[in-house]
Structure 1
Amino acid sequence: MGSTGFDTPTRRLLLKAGFPLIFLPVVAGAGRRPLRISLLGQSLIKTDLRRIGWQGLGEFRRILAGRDLVFTDLETVIGGPLAGRSTRPADSEVLHVAEPEVIDCLQAIGVNIVATSNNHAWDLDTGGIVSTIEALRARGLAFAGTGRDLAQASAPGVAGRVALVAAAAGAIRDGAAATATRPGVNELRREPDGALVAADVERYLGAIRFAATGGATVIAYLHNHYWEPRKSDTPAWQRDLARRAVDAGAATFVAHGVPELQGMEFHRGAPLFHGLSSFIFQSEKPDGAYGPEAWQSAIAELDLVDGRVAATRLVPVQLDARGLVHEGRRVRGSPRLASAASARSVAERLEALSDRLGASARFGPPQQSRRGGWTVKVDPS
């Protein structure tokens, strides 16, 4: 084969994972409708929302209907016979384990690809990594960010014409990262001076180049737990990584990890969503552990033509901070489309956070959508 224009180690790694060199045709967009992508906040889901009379089910089915790709981060490990023992205390408020039916709940509203690279993927040890992978595969749900070895964990997940490259940085405990012989997470490590390990970054960027060269529209994803003292601030290194991801061929960059919104910006016309907060947030931490910002979120709607984002909209979302008791457990963090007042609050917060990043994004006023809820149009400045 001829040169692919990027590092040989990454190319060999992805080919080892069974990922083909050319996997999608490059098709011009003339005369075709845009590719429609929706990016949700992270989904910390331990109880199937359909079991508790979730009023938002119909709302989100309606606004996500007709989208070609609907993405979220599955911040939950799936139990089952393959799973190992808990790597956290059994009564830990941050043990995130669920039955496979939570995947069905996400699919019921249209989710068709998820990231699995996060700090909870290893909550049931290495067996939990495998158990989650098998549950996703059994349901035909595309994913990226974990695998049976580093080659698979680094490889893009593919849904239609879209490829997802996913990694995690921070709070990945010893034993959780994928290696050449061990299942785990695609981890981006840090050097003692705080810089990301160059080989890890090149593996991440190389996977983006690999997928883009093959004709895919690429989403670059990061689950980040290297937080700044003020959680709403975006680290400079993350901003740099996002730009490099776009330079490598990604159409957009999206991050989770911080349980609240962060700002967005544009690079070469590509939107960079540095923190979309939570779409579902079934936290069991005590009241007051999080401020009101943790219960606000947004869905990013992208329309792409010829692999480039032609339109960007945000759909404000409000989560239920009080919750209800179901089968002896308090279930909080169920999402609904934001009301008019809540939509204005989300839009104003996102605009203020984005201004901190240099005002490269111009926000329109919230407008009522024919599909329900409110939308905010966002353009490069």
Structure 2
Amino acid sequence: MARTPVLKLSLLGQALIEHAPGPGEWPGRDGVAARLAQSHVVFTNLETVIQGPNAGAPTRELLTLHAAGPEMLEGLKAAHVNLVATANNHAFDLGSGGILDTVAALRVAGLPSTGSGANLAAASVPAYAASSAGTVGLVAFATGKVRPGGAATPDRPGVNELRRDAAGQPVAEDVERILNAIRTARRQAQLVIAYQHNHDWEPDMTDVPDWQRALARRCIDAGAAVFAGHGAPLLQGIELYRGAPIFYGLGNFVFQTEKPIGAYPPESWEGIIAECTFEQGRCRGVRLVPLTLNEIGLGGTDDMATRGFPALAVASLASSILNRVAQRSRAFGVGLDRQSGSLAL
């Protein structure tokens, strides 16, 4: 009898990458890339608009405008990223034209993506990454701080937005669209990632909202094998539901913010690789690999081009990161081996 293939999936923090690293400008790349090369599929959220011929006027002040040329994607590809979400609050930074340019550039680069598109149907359709061990589907959506005009409609480019109603609950129409996309993806893929970029934070942004926990479970019930989240620029807790891991906040993978040193807490310069193994669509193991990002560029505080790139964390920092994730996951009844980074499934 043929052995069932094991599919290895790595989930990364969000990629706010504005500069393509040149030789020597990403000192930790070799270690990170070697680790990610062990996975069949590597996922991140691209929190950067790719500038192209359709770009419109900026929709926000320059300090928080995240845009880059298409060459930036080579930095992600060098790290073996091969599945990308584009649903987030910065997708509209260069207007509807920026949405179209980003989707087009990802297509040219050969990076499957979803979460934004030429209209709501295109923004919500699943993306697929094929591998030798099977196909991974992705459904991506965003909640909170989506600017006016930034949400996709049946005839307008934008992001796949999950709105909340006056009572704070997800809008039923949006939820059903997302769940239907997950069901569709599950018929096409060995496993499905449900991804949410959430900016409707709790007063303490390390906490996870109850409405989001309920939504994540509904995504698993609809057929997702894993739920992944970004938004808060730090690591949040991990939950297990029906054997499926729920990563509410994966923190940052690349973080090239142009805000001054100290504008974000030290935790924003830490992240993890969540290495998941699947057999027949079910998660059989999770290991967390801690990362650290350089808040100061190689050329000093004004060097934004080499700021915010990840490296494998050294032992003492790795232990601190794992301890923090373990503490936040304990509230969800999840145990984490702080030596190996393995999740108790």
Alignment TM class, shorter chain as reference = over 0.9
Q: Quick one: which amino acid aligns to residue 338 of structure 2?
A: P
1:168-222 per-position Cα deviation (integer Å, ceiling 9, x unaligned): 0000011000010011100001111111111001111110011113344100000
Task: Mark the runs of 5 or more structure 1 residues left unpaired by the alignment.
Answer: 1-28, 368-375
Partner of 1:220: 194
Partner of 1:18: none
Partner of 1:107: 77
SS at match of 2:285: strand
Relative to structure 1, the CA distance from residue 326 to residue 260 in structure 2 (aligned partners, 3 Å threshold; closer, same or farther) is same
SS at match of 1:250: coil
Partner of 1:7: none
- What is the root-mean-square deviation of aligned Cα atoms in Å? 1.6
Partner of 1:61: 33
2:128 and 2:189 in contact (8 A); partners too: no
TM-score, with length taken from structure 2: 0.95
Partner of 1:116: 86
Matched, 1:349 2:324: yes
SS at match of 1:363: coil
2:56 and 2:98 in contact (8 A); partners too: yes
Match of 1:136 among 98, 106, 112: 106
Q: Quick one: which amino acid aligns to residue 364 of structure 1?
A: D
**Cα distance in 2, alignment partners of residues 365 and 329 from structure 1:** 35
1:162 and 1:218 in contact (8 A); partners too: yes
Partner of 2:22: 50
CA positional deviation for 1:329: 4.0
Match of 1:291 among 261, 265, 284: 265
Q: How does 1:1-381 map to 2 (within 5 A)?
A: 31-50=3-22, 53-89=25-61, 92-160=62-130, 161-325=135-299, 329-330=303-304, 331-356=306-331, 358-359=332-333, 361-367=334-340, 376-380=341-345
Q: Quick one: which amino acid aligns to residue 351 of structure 1?
A: A
SS at match of 2:149: coil
1:145 and 1:166 in contact (8 A); partners too: yes
**Cα distance in 2, alignment partners of residues 327 and 256 from structure 1:** 26
1:102-135 per-position Cα deviation (integer Å, ceiling 9, x unaligned): 1111011100010000000000000000000110
**Cα distance in 2, alignment partners of residues 245 and 107 from structure 1:** 28
Q: Quick one: which amino acid aligns to residue 30 of structure 2?
A: G
**Cα distance in 1, alignment partners of residues 114 and 251 from structure 2:** 19
Relative to structure 1, the CA distance from residue 229 to residue 52 in structure 2 (aligned partners, 3 Å threshold; closer, same or farther) is farther
**Cα distance in 2, alignment partners of residues 193 and 230 from structure 1:** 20
**Cα distance in 1, alignment partners of residues 161 and 173 from structure 2:** 11
CA positional deviation for 1:76: 0.1
**Cα distance in 1, alignment partners of residues 36 and 238 from structure 2:** 22
Q: Quick one: which amino acid aligns to residue 258 of structure 2?
A: E
1:49 and 1:334 in contact (8 A); partners too: no
Greater CA drift, 63-72 or 47-56: 47-56
CA positional deviation for 1:61: 1.6
**Cα distance in 1, alignment partners of residues 301 and 52 from structure 2:** 20
2:16 and 2:255 in contact (8 A); partners too: yes
Relative to structure 1, the CA distance from residue 246 to residue 30 in structure 2 (aligned partners, 3 Å threshold; closer, same or farther) is farther
2:137 and 2:189 in contact (8 A); partners too: no
**Cα distance in 2, alignment partners of residues 230 and 79 from structure 1:** 34
Relative to structure 1, the CA distance from residue 158 to residue 342 in structure 2 (aligned partners, 3 Å threshold; closer, same or farther) is same
TM-score, with length taken from structure 1: 0.86
Pairs aligned (count)? 340
1:206-241 per-position Cα deviation (integer Å, ceiling 9, x unaligned): 100111133441000000000110010011111111
SS at match of 1:378: coil
Relative to structure 1, the CA distance from residue 328 to residue 52 in structure 2 (aligned partners, 3 Å threshold; closer, same or farther) is farther
Q: Quick one: which amino acid aligns to residue 70 of structure 2?
A: P
1:124-180 per-position Cα deviation (integer Å, ceiling 9, x unaligned): 000000000110011111001011110010100111111000000000011000010
CA positional deviation for 1:65: 1.1
